[in-house]
Every structure is written in C-alpha cells, then in structure tokens.
Structure 1
Amino acid sequence: MFFSRSAVTLVAAALASLLPGHAAAAGQLGFALGVKQPNGACKNQADYIADMEAIKSRSGSTIVRIFDAAECDVTAHMLPAAKAQGFQALLGIWPDTEDQYNNGKQAIIANGNAYKEQVHAVIVGSESLYRGTYSADQLVARMEDMRRAAPGFRYGMSDSWNKYADGTADAVVRVSDIVLINAFSYWQGASIDAAVGVFNSDIEQAVARVNAAREGRPIETWVGETGWPTEGTTYQAAVPSLANAKRYYDEGVCPMVRGGGNVFVFEAFDEPWKPDSIGDTGQAASEKHWGVMTADRSEKFGLRC
C-alpha cells in the first residue's frame, strides 16, 4: 500500500481537526522515554536532565511520555528535571495489577501535584484493551477513580489503533480529555515500502471512529506510539535497519507532524536491558534498538521535522 504526500497530510489534518481551537499549523513531536539506564538500573534526576537536553537539542521537542509513573520512582526524579528543562510529560498509570494501579495513583498524588505545569496529562492504561486486561467499562471506572483521587489533571487513554477503529474503545473515548493511538507497521509485518501507507491507514481508521464516538466534541489526539527498530529480528516482511528506521521517520512521522498531527515516537533512546517482545504471530523480536538515539544519547539520524 502506498500513500502519497497529500494523503499523509490529509490523515494528519484529520488528527489535528480533533484538537480544540484547531488551526492549520504543525503538530507536536514527542518521544517515549524509558526510566532505566542502559544497564537496567533506575535513572536519577541527572539522567533525565541529560535525556531532555539531548532530545531538545536534536529534535526541538519538549514533551515526553512515561508509561508507568511508579516505576523507578520516575515522577520524583523526572518532573524536577522537566521543570528545569522546560519540558512537559504525559504520565502513565499502569493498572494491570491492583498494586501497580495503586502505586501509580500514589505517585501522581505525591509528586504530580507539585509539578502540575509539567504534567501534560495522565494516561490510564497502556494497550489495556488490546491485551484484554480491562474492558472499556473497567477502564472508565479506573479513570473516574483517578479523577477523584487526583483532581486538576487531564486524563486519557492509550491503546492500539484497531481497538479504536472497531469501537472497543468508544466508552473510554467519550470520557477522555486526550487519546493516544498506537500504530506500528513493523508489528503488522509490513515491508518498508508499505509501512507508511499502513501507518496512515491505521490512524485514519482510528481517528474516524474517535470522531464518531465524540459526536463532534473536540479532543486532543496523538499518535501514542510509532517507530521502527534499527537492529533486531525481521518480523514477517518488516526488516530492522538504520536505513529503514530513517525512512519511516522521514516519510511517516515528520509528514504527520508537519501536517498538524501530534506524534510520540517510540522511543527516544535504545534500551539494551530489555527482554524480547512477542508479536501477534508468537514470534519473538527484540525491543532493544527502537531508539532514534543510542543508549549513550548519540543521534542515529536527523530528527528535526
């Protein structure tokens, strides 16, 4: 599947049109940020400052996404760094177990309240519908509980594009302030020649359903995760390589941002400590080399859109 530049712009415009006060302007570029050093030890405030300096100087971005607000005590270390560096962060609540949920809630209460200007939003769950951890109604209940426990933040969800497109996420979309749509052509086994077309088709379908579920009410919408590994395992027709990652970034991510869409790239830096992930086919694939920068913060290719 091939999408022309004009088709890419149309998808980006569809994303942007869901934003309050939409105007024809470039969207925002952000990066998923890990909470561990290359050796697997937890990052400290100095690590996050160095991360943000690298992200800002190479891409111009000043927004990051954290998946679990409780892991490695990230909010206590990262939010002061974000304030010092002029960054905002989306903080995730990972609610797969009761302990994980409660720990995330307490991290938001304990640290988020002191840095509200740095907290762009709180995201409850990460592909919880896709993995079957929660039903939509259960996720809504978690979000409502968070609003009561930690008022004053915007709340939203993050899930795979197909869980938006098939209506599974409708109930959560209706009560969210922000939605993150994840779409990985790599994990769909697409060749690099087809990858941008697959990505844009995914987002187009998800955005159309979000728009229908909202019934005309605007909502801030992002691509929550997308990217391409520079090393690792070939997954069906998807081949990891530096050239393919650069092409996907240049032809998929940047046109989306320039056209008005908001995109979080997965991810800022390589994470060599990570175990392999398992795709829908059951095939294992490495998640160690998804960074647009190396673990020592060296740029792999040009990141400015």
Structure 2
Amino acid sequence: MRVSGLASLALAVAPALATSTRGTLGFSLGDKNADGTCKSTSDYEADFDNLKDLTTLVRTYSGTECDTPQNILPAAKSKGFKVVLGIWVGAQDSGDLSTNDASFTKDFAALKEAVPGYEDYVEAITVGSETLYRGDQTGPSLHNYIGLVANQFKSISVGTADSWNKFADGTADDLFTRDTTDAPLVTYVLANAFAYWQGTAADQAYKTYFDDMSGAMEHIQKVAGSNADKIHILNGETGWPTDGGSDYEAAKAGTANAETFWQTGVCGMLAWGVDLFYFEAFDESWKPDSVGDNGQAMDEKHWGLRTASRQDKFNTTCSN
C-alpha cells in the first residue's frame, strides 16, 4: 500500500484506520521444541495445525540451525502453509563476495538444496536479520548479498529484515535505488517495530508502533520513487511479553498488557491494511535470559501468543 502523511494517523484510534483490504497476519516461528531439541517435520505440522485458525503464514530465521528448511517445507506442503525462509548474514570482513562470511555461505547452500520442488510454499527469502541495525553490513554490501540470492531463486521474492529506523533514516536506501543485474531492486521488506523496546506503556504503544511503521514506509516510498509500487513493505516483527516476562522502562510485561497491545496495535495495523508477523507464535521456554547493554538480565521465554504447549493466553479476536 502507498502511504502519505501518516504521522498524524498514529495519533488516531486504531479502529479508525481500517482500509478496504485487511492486512495478513503471520507469525515468527522458532525451530526448537520447549525442551530445546530441534523440531522435526511432525513438530512443524503440529504447529501449523494449531495456528491454522489464525494464519497460514510463518517466518523463520536460519537456513542451517536445526535443518529448518529441510524440516519445515514438507510440513508447509502437507498443511497448506507458506514460509518466509531466512539466510543469516554476519559482519562484513571484505568487499569480496567470493569470500562471504561462513553463516551466509552455509545458509545459502542449505536453501539451494532444500527449496527446489517447494517453491510454491516459499513466500519469500530474507537475507540478513537486523544486520544494518547491528552495523554488520552497509546498505550497498547487504544489497550485494541479496543479489546473489535473488539471482539464484528467480521465481521467489527476496529481501531483508531490519529495524524500522534503519529504513527510515536512509541506511537502507541503496536497496531501493540501485537496480542492476547483480543487485536487483529489493521488493520484499520486513521492518521490525517493537514499541515495547522503546519503553512505551502498553496503552500508548500503538501510537509508537504506527509512528515507527509510517516512518519506515514513507521513507522507502519516497526514495523508491516510481518503483514504490513494486515494493512490498511488511511489519517483520512486533509483540509484547506476557506474564513471566521482563519489564523495560515504562513497558510492563504481562498478559493483560499483551492483550491491550494486540487489540490496539496488532489489530489496528491489520485493519490499516499492513501485513505483519507477530513475534512470536509460541513461548520458547528453552531460551536463556539475555543480558542487555545495561547489564540487566531479560527473560525471553514468554513472548509467544500461545504457550509452549500451544494453549491460548488471551482472546485474539480483533474487535475492528
């Protein structure tokens, strides 16, 4: 969708943002079971059976960890799902793509082996996950990696996922302004936007969320010019930790707050017509705490819309 003047829209109540076409809901999906073991094809089939009342679209992150493509694609075919596959890109160590980092090389090779025959079940391939946000790559260097993958999988959309602000501040402009044989125009863009990680209270989080997404979308469309209508911009990740999670400044973890954000933010974004991936489908109880720059441990086990045993936490029916 093409957008303009969206900053003011973020101040409106979410139900007022409805468009004629509702956005598509997808989920980030982990590759491990609750006990930390790798998921098999049958585990993914059970995930899909559980999620089919909400979606038939999921997003993954790695081409080699837990043999994700080899296990998830047969399950997607069996259950009628589509999958966004991921290729990890590490830090840039040279401008010579013939010596790409080991993570990219391994993931790219795994997808070359796993995807043929399953193209109809691959929604897209993302090259890099917040690599610009971490400073591991520049826009031009990331574009070159994307070009390698796009030229390999010509029938599949290939793009990247990064923090919304890296799309809004111009860091990623090369992806939408350079269109060559080696690095074609990037047409599939996942912009991650977490009002929680900006320390926003749950009842105000939808405003931050809409501001973030409108900023990313407006800038991409501005720099893309006449190519803007070719670019599919989605919200790549958003979410809120439920009971047992960690607070972050004014953003308080809790199931009631997660439901508030779901109803005002997620349901509002879908009503606005923007496709999005909720982070995440199920709790990942195997995850260790992470330690941020402030030295504080943050619980990452309770971000699922549903529990690790695939049980509902709150009512997900959108009221708008």
Give the alignment's TM-score, normalised by structure 2.
0.86
CA deviation profile, 1:13-62 (whole Å, cap 9, x unmatched)? 6xxxxxxxxxx3111000000000011110001100010111113x2x10
Displacement, 1:147?
Answer: 2.1
2:239 is equivalent to residue 227 of structure 1: yes
Structure 1: segments with no counterpart, 5+ residues: 14-23
2:109 is equivalent to residue 115 of structure 1: no
Displacement, 1:216?
Answer: 3.2
CA deviation profile, 1:75-125 (whole Å, cap 9, x unmatched)? 111001001111101111111162211121112111112200000110000
Greater Cα radius of gyration, structure 1 or 2: 2
1:47 counterpart residue number: 43
2:180 counterpart residue number: none
Q: Does the CA-based 8 Å contact 2:23-2:270 persist in structure 1?
A: yes
Q: Does the CA-based 8 Å contact 1:157-1:172 persist in structure 2?
A: no
CA separation of 1:185 and 1:254: change in aligned 2, threshold 3 A: same
1:16 counterpart residue number: none
1:176 to 167, 186, 193: 186
1:262 counterpart residue number: 275
How far apart, in 2, do the equivalents of 1:258 and 1:110 lie?
38
CA separation of 1:75 and 1:6: change in aligned 2, threshold 3 A: closer
1:190 counterpart residue number: 200
1:45-124 paired onto structure 2 within 5 Å:
45-57=41-53, 59=54, 61-96=55-90, 98-124=101-127
Displacement, 1:222?
Answer: 0.6
Displacement, 1:193?
Answer: 2.3
SS in structure 2 of the partner of residue 125 of structure 1: strand
Q: Does the CA-based 8 Å contact 1:173-1:179 persist in structure 2?
A: no
2:25 counterpart residue number: 29
CA separation of 1:225 and 1:280: change in aligned 2, threshold 3 A: farther
1:123-162 paired onto structure 2 within 5 Å:
123-162=126-165
CA separation of 1:199 and 1:277: change in aligned 2, threshold 3 A: farther
1:201-280 paired onto structure 2 within 5 Å:
201-217=211-227, 218=229, 219-230=231-242, 231-279=244-292
Q: Does the CA-based 8 Å contact 1:8-1:256 persist in structure 2?
A: no
1:165 counterpart residue number: 168
SS in structure 1 of the partner of residue 276 of structure 2: strand
How far apart, in 1, do the equivalents of 2:236 and 2:75 lie?
22
Displacement, 1:172?
Answer: 1.8
SS in structure 1 of the partner of residue 216 of structure 2: helix
SS in structure 1 of the partner of residue 134 of structure 2: coil
Q: Which amino acid aligns with 1:184?
A: F
How far apart, in 2, do the equivalents of 1:7 and 1:246 lie?
16
CA deviation profile, 1:107-150 (whole Å, cap 9, x unmatched)? 21111122000001100000000011111111011011112333
CA separation of 1:132 and 1:87: change in aligned 2, threshold 3 A: same
CA separation of 1:280 and 1:7: change in aligned 2, threshold 3 A: farther
How far apart, in 2, do the equivalents of 1:268 and 1:93 lie?
20
Structure 2: segments with no counterpart, 5+ residues: 1-7, 92-100, 178-184
SS in structure 1 of the partner of residue 104 of structure 2: helix
How far apart, in 1, do the equivalents of 2:298 and 2:16 lie?
28
Aligned residue-pair number: 291
CA deviation profile, 1:209-242 (whole Å, cap 9, x unmatched)? 0111211321111100000000322111111000
* Structural RMSD (CA): 1.8
2:315 is equivalent to residue 302 of structure 1: yes
CA separation of 1:245 and 1:262: change in aligned 2, threshold 3 A: same
How far apart, in 1, do the equivalents of 2:295 and 2:158 lie?
33
Q: Which amino acid aligns with 1:48?
A: Y
Displacement, 1:302?
Answer: 2.2
Q: Does the CA-based 8 Å contact 1:195-1:248 persist in structure 2?
A: yes
Displacement, 1:71?
Answer: 1.3
How far apart, in 2, do the equivalents of 1:181 and 1:8 lie?
23
Fraction of identical pairs, as percent: 41
